[in-house]
Structure 1
Amino acid sequence: MTATNPLITLNNGVQIPALGLGVYQSAPEETTDAVLTALHNGYRLIDTAAAYFNEREVGEAIARSDVDRSEIFVTTKVWISDYGYDSALRAFDVSLRKLGIEQLDLWLLHQPLPSDFEKTIAAYKAAEKLLAEGRVRAIGVSNQTPKQLDELISRTGIVPAVNQIQVHPYYTQPEWRAANESHGILTQSWSPIGGSYVYRGADTNPLEDPVITALADKYAKTPAQVVLRWHLDHGFCAIPKSVKAHRIAENFDVFDFALTPDEVAAIDALDTGVRGGPDPDSLDLENAGFPIPD
């Protein structure tokens, strides 16, 4: 255990903070203040995406912050509308311009696009070019199944550094995590706290689970802090989202305790095997190919 945010070394030697701020569904008018608050509280990883429509606001916060750019790990993602080689390269330029930075730390393919995996491969080859040119420090994917990972790796030259997938106590994805580990790919958890989770027709929340609330009482922590500690004790990278200053600070206050192996296993056992949110394989250009404005 460390009293500060640990760094995880990716498969290309680049280091990424283990805990960061996600800005999915953060309204543009709230994003700048949220990122500034996070940086003030010690966060050094900020995760956005072209499809979140708030890259400019993330960039504004970075520019206004008194934290040196070299200390901030910035991730963004290319949306499926811009898959393909040339279009992905153009989308990267658009993202960098919106962010107002000269080099990106991590660029991810946001979805696998199984209905046109050739475009997925082409977009990843564009990422490889940008990596070779030094315009991005690491590249990876998001929501890729084990089978899709195998195909992508077999047809490209660089193993992804990261696969960002949905992981939380009610949806632990052991098979996907094992596939990532077998390739030396970091599992990065989106929706790490779980939020309001629909399971078997009922709204359930991991933060109200008796296993987690009992651990929160034991360690004098909040349920969210216990869940984030579970991610860290597994060696995942987690990117909880919030625009509330007190919650942003609370989510970062998880480095002064650790769960026991038995406690980690008890949270693992809460897995329902049921996804919250859409199946990424259901997304295609017809139903999700919305344009990303410049």
Structure 2
Amino acid sequence: MTFGNKAAPRRSAAMIPHENKNDYSMHFRETSSADAQSLVDGVRLITPAKEKNSAVILPWIGYGTYRLGEKQALDATLEAIRCGYRSIDTAFIYGGEKTEVLVGQAVRKAIDEKVIHSREEIFVTTKHWRKYHGYDASLQCLKLSLKRLDMEYVDLWLMHWPGPAYNTMNKKKEDVEKDPFFYATTAPEDMADLRAETWRAMEDAYRQGLCRSIGVSNMSIKQLRKLKESAKIWPPAVNQVEVHPLHPQDELLEYCRQEGVIVQAYASLGGQDTGKQLFAQLLGEKATKKQKCSLLDASLVTELASQLKATPAQTLLRWGLQRNCVQIPKTTSKSRMLENAAALSISMTDEQVERLKEELRSNVIRNNPDAEVNEITRLCWRRDPLRHLDFD
């Protein structure tokens, strides 16, 4: 089976023979994004430990589990592992706090089926939820995640959001600004101090062996700089943020590069919180009956995909990889899992990477001359008023 003319990696290509299952680095291979060839090829994360067998390598392409239904979370995660995926991204809050349980079940079932030999062959990421900010509450959050996953540790634990609150989705922006700590365990006046306490708990969780690396998500340069002032472990291994050609995050990527933070991109294919009307507004293009009028359908994306003899999804994933961003696309389709993995076999020039970003952004500016471009091109969490708050 091919996608574009790119053959998907065979399942066996995702396996690296190993003798000592406790030598984690034997299960993954450190490469640059340009040299990655299989789903075990990844980037080495910066961690305090220096022992050889403590190398933490995050695969360049993993499997995302956001917005999977209850049955899908088990079946699709297991299918992803069968297809060769060795990095699974989940979170405390995903699936109404049910997805972690199902991800854990999928990993154990993969072991039972002998698709993998041991837990160490899967890189598992989960995320702290924002109602648990603070030292004690954060440790409680991780222990709950580990219990749900039925695992002794996770490979990467991320601070999901820089601010607190729990049940604010679809509420009026004014109501959220009046009480942004709704359902939070604590409500300090200075969010930066609370964030520092959460990070202190994450540092201790790392020292206790409950996670092999720690990082953040949805954090700005300003928030990272403030966190650095009190951090004992620095840099965060990862900052997981929205990145795609419409929302390239150039300044943030450069800051993270300088600090040694690996950027992991979500919504690489355009996100799930948008529809035809928004993309028509952004790109000035109308959908055909076969199109959703999404980023995947943008004429520039499909044109470049044709040049690369690839699919639009592979083109967008390769665009992110070329910028050294780890990718975690989600799909429930086996064929698309293989299609996404085959993005590793695509080559894209620097000129093509830059053109895709600049021309798409130019279209947005031309079609929305009065809009703030970085706000309108942020495609995720459009119904969450918290996205407008800095929590500084």
> What TM-score do the two structures reach when normalised by structure 2?
0.69
- Distance 1:96-1:14 versus aligned 2 partners, 3 A rule: same
2:290 paired with 1:208: no
Counterpart in the other structure of 1:7: 42
- Distance 1:138-1:280 versus aligned 2 partners, 3 A rule: farther
Encode CA deviations 1:141-167: one digit per residue, 9 max, x unaligned. 000010000001111111211000000
Encode CA deviations 1:49-104: one digit per residue, 9 max, x unaligned. 01102100000000000312111000000111111100110110100010111111
Q: Secondary structure at the match of 2:93?
A: helix
CA distance in 2, matches of 1:236, 1:60: 28
- Distance 1:73-1:24 versus aligned 2 partners, 3 A rule: same
2:283 paired with 1:238: no
CA distance in 2, matches of 1:131, 1:265: 38
Q: Are 2:192 and 2:226, in contact at CA under 8 Å, matched by a contact in 1?
A: no
**2:197 aligns with one of 122, 130, 152:** 122
**1:93 aligns with one of 143, 153, 160:** 143
2:61 paired with 1:16: no
**2:381 aligns with one of 278, 283, 286:** 278
* CA displacement at 1:200 relative to structure 2: 7.8
- Distance 1:221-1:193 versus aligned 2 partners, 3 A rule: same
> 5 Å matches for 1:108-257?
108-113=158-163, 116-158=191-233, 159-195=235-271, 197=274, 198=278, 201=281, 204-257=293-346
For residue 254 of structure 2, what is the amino acid of its counterpart? A
2:154 paired with 1:104: yes
Encode CA deviations 1:130-186: one digit per residue, 9 max, x unaligned. 111222110000000100000011111112110000001111111211221121101
Q: Are 1:195 and 1:207, in contact at CA under 8 Å, matched by a contact in 2?
A: no
For residue 196 of structure 2, what is the amino acid of its counterpart? I
- Distance 1:281-1:177 versus aligned 2 partners, 3 A rule: farther
* CA displacement at 1:2 relative to structure 2: 3.7
Q: Are 1:20 and 1:44, in contact at CA under 8 Å, matched by a contact in 2?
A: yes
**2:130 aligns with one of 49, 69, 80:** 80
- Percent of paired sites with the same residue: 35
* CA displacement at 1:220 relative to structure 2: 2.3
Aligned pair count reads 285
**Structure 1 residues without counterparts, runs of 5 or longer:** 285-294
Counterpart in the other structure of 1:260: 349
2:82 paired with 1:40: yes
2:71 paired with 1:29: yes
Q: Are 2:241 and 2:264, in contact at CA under 8 Å, matched by a contact in 1?
A: yes
CA distance in 2, matches of 1:236, 1:189: 6
Q: Secondary structure at the match of 1:50?
A: coil
- Distance 1:14-1:113 versus aligned 2 partners, 3 A rule: same
Q: Are 1:143 and 1:280, in contact at CA under 8 Å, matched by a contact in 2?
A: no
CA distance in 2, matches of 1:34, 1:118: 39
Encode CA deviations 1:112-145: one digit per residue, 9 max, x unaligned. 0177332221111100001112221100000001
CA distance in 2, matches of 1:202, 1:229: 22
Larger % of strand: which?
Answer: 1
* CA displacement at 1:215 relative to structure 2: 2.1
Q: Are 2:59 and 2:86, in contact at CA under 8 Å, matched by a contact in 1?
A: yes
Structure with the larger RCO, 1 or 2 (CA within 8 Å, 6+ apart): 1
CA distance in 1, matches of 2:143, 2:251: 35
Following superposition, which runs of at least 4 residues in structure 1 exceed 6 angstroms of deviation? Answer: none
Q: Are 1:59 and 1:98, in contact at CA under 8 Å, matched by a contact in 2?
A: yes
> 5 Å matches for 1:62-73?
62-65=107-110, 66-67=115-116, 68-73=118-123
> What TM-score do the two structures reach when normalised by structure 1?
0.90
- Distance 1:200-1:85 versus aligned 2 partners, 3 A rule: farther
